[in-house]
Amino acid sequence: FLRMRWLARAGPRNHTFKPRSLRSVRAMSALRGCTVLHLDNHVLAIAKPAGMPSCPDDTRDPDALTCCKDFLKERFDKPGRVFLGLVHRLDRPASGVMVFARTSKAASRLSESVRERNTKKVYAALVRGCLSEGGNLEDYIRKEQNRVYVTSTRSQGTKLAQLDYKPMFYCERNQLTLLQVHLHTGRKHQIRAQLAQFGHPIVGDTKYGGRHNLWAGASPDDRGIVSQIALHAHRLEIPHPIRDKDPLDLHSEVPRSWHALFPYPEALASINGTKA
């Protein structure tokens, strides 16, 4: 299933792009389920679907970086290789906003913004259990192979991990809480590991204690890729690499599959910043 639309500018106001040529159709097909949120001469931003790697890995499955290169090659009829810089990563089973750099200069400046934490990253998450009040989590994370471990004390090999969380709605039927998470440090699997350590693992995240059978109630069309977890990068604010006074404020709506688990459209709409 391909969403044939191009959101030509950042922000909640979406502008539908209708392909007018065979080349445009091929370009949109190359995205393999990604949705373009912003495109200019320096930056490409997309909404990555759950289950897709951010960049090539050992599985050789379609990845966001390669798909976006193929999109640009078809869209602008570029000969040879297309340059596209990977600025940051998003966990494979998660979905949401990703930013790529179209020039080496943009790659350097965007990477510096990420490294210096000159960004605003907001995630939506469905977690197990009831959370009635917001707060912050400050822990230390140690990476071992393909997972991380959380500790409250600093030691050799650990890195500081900080986030704020805000409960948006509680579903008593499923005993799930919809959270808005502001990420202050960008450690691998940080949100997943910290929320699990806190006693509220993310739905579907079996690596960190989340139950995996909650997606069973969704129809095949809604469920999408089986490996998804209920973690979505729904907003990213980052300085534009060239136009300093024109920051990028990128938004992506939560996946449709969440509605099967959390049947409160007004709550999900509050995350998306739109009316139910």
Catalytic annotation, residues: 91
Distance CA 261, CA 230 (A): 10
CB 114 within 8 A of CB 237: no
State how far the Cα of 192 lies from the Cα of 203, in Å rounded to an integer: 10
The CA radius of gyration of the chain, in Å to the nearest whole number, is 19
**Residues pairing with 135 in the sheet:** 165
Question: Which of 144, 77, 107 lies closest to 241 in space, CA to CA?
Answer: 107
Helices assigned H by DSSP within the chain: 22-30, 64-75, 104-115, 190-197, 220-223, 258-261, 265-272
Q: Which two tokens stand for residue 87?
A: 């600025």
